Amino acid sequence: MALVHLERLQHNVRLLKAKLAAGVQMMATVKADGYGHGALEVSKAALSAGADRLGVATVEEAVALRQSGITAPVLVYGALPEQAAIAVLDYDIAVTVTGINDIRILADAAKRQRHSVRVHVKLDTGMGRLGIRSADEMLTVLSHISAYPLIELEGIFTHLSSADEMHHADGRVYSEMQRRRFIEWVHVAKRAGYHVPIAHIANSAALLWGPEYHFDMVRPGIAMYGFHPAPAWNQDVDLQPVLELRTSITRIARMQAGEAVSYGRTYVTEKEEVIATVPVGYGDGIPRALTNRGYVEVNGAIAPIVGTICMDQLMINVTGFDAKVGDQVVIYSQLIESKASIQSHADLLDTIPYELLCRITSRVPRQHIL
């Protein structure tokens, strides 16, 4: 069971919102099913706490929110598939454009549907992933947008590649280069006579770094879910992890020295040990790489994962614990300092909390608590 504490998410949203100057909007990023927390519930909670808009990765994610009753403005960050243009119009979804072909697709759909569409022009200022790569190319795209009255330019934006490394000189220099390039290109657009209602650049890290990155809107993601994007700096921010993953013990076995646990016999008891089985595994999103490395909490104490993690089950060493079948096991703890926290496991695996959150599969029930 994944317990999603929406009051913690609202706390985080309010904390982040308080760092913004008056008039700066917040677009809550709820892609990938709200980073595994449940996009609909997260969207409602974020909007009620002060978020102005929502950001998703795909048209399908945006349509799902609309079909569930979300009426707030939604922007699709990713590329526009041609077959999705009609849905964009039908559901009043703002989309990212990265070239004149996107404009042609939208113009054709808008003409057929007799409906306007809002667009945000994506600039590649140094991410090297998606977007327009020069000011001249940007002006060409903007000229095509202005030629179609049913296409409304709502924003221009870019994405920072190294904002979570700004506590290092090279990350700070690179982010500043991207910021200055973005400012320059937006000024080029304005000097050419184009109105840019919303300029935006800041992810969670840039939002926390400082107001020079806030512009007209910020797009927090991981910070909203309670994790600092760069744990090495700015630890005084009171972000609260929103999700915890719990299960319970299904078997207790007292094993003798020399007995093997799980596939491949990767763990062999050195003495008499008490091994507990719990019903979660990599089929639920627990990385198999935590085999003989990860930790869980049992009755407030830390227990190591032992033996190869299976698809549906894993084993833990509860020798010396007062543990029994049915006792609660916390797989991912909300306590940041715990060895069983998502951050601790991410550090152990040389990855980021985003990945572990998004890996939690749909067969894990979510209980949303507000």
Positions marked catalytic = 31, 263
Determine the angle formed by the axes of helices 39-48 and 59-67, rounding to 10 degrees: 70
Count of H-run helices and E-run strands, the chain: 11, 19
Contact in structure between 271 and 255 (CB atoms under 8 Å): no
Contact in structure between 2 and 366 (CB atoms under 8 Å): yes
Q: What is the DSSP string of 320-349?
A: TS---TT-EEEEEBS-TTSTTBHHHHHHHT
Contact in structure between 326 and 246 (CB atoms under 8 Å): no
Contact in structure between 4 and 242 (CB atoms under 8 Å): yes
> Sign of torsion, CA 61 67 70 72?
positive
Q: Which residues pair with 119 in a beta bridge?
A: 95, 153
Q: What angle do CA 276, 280, 282 make, to 5 degrees?
A: 125
Determine the angle formed by the axes of helices 169-191 and 135-146, rounding to 10 degrees: 40
Contact in structure between 56 and 74 (CB atoms under 8 Å): yes
Amino acid type, 57: A
- The residue among 230, 243, 237 whose CA lies nearest residue 9 is 243
Length of the chain: 370
Contact in structure between 117 and 152 (CB atoms under 8 Å): yes
Q: Three-state SS for 259?
A: coil
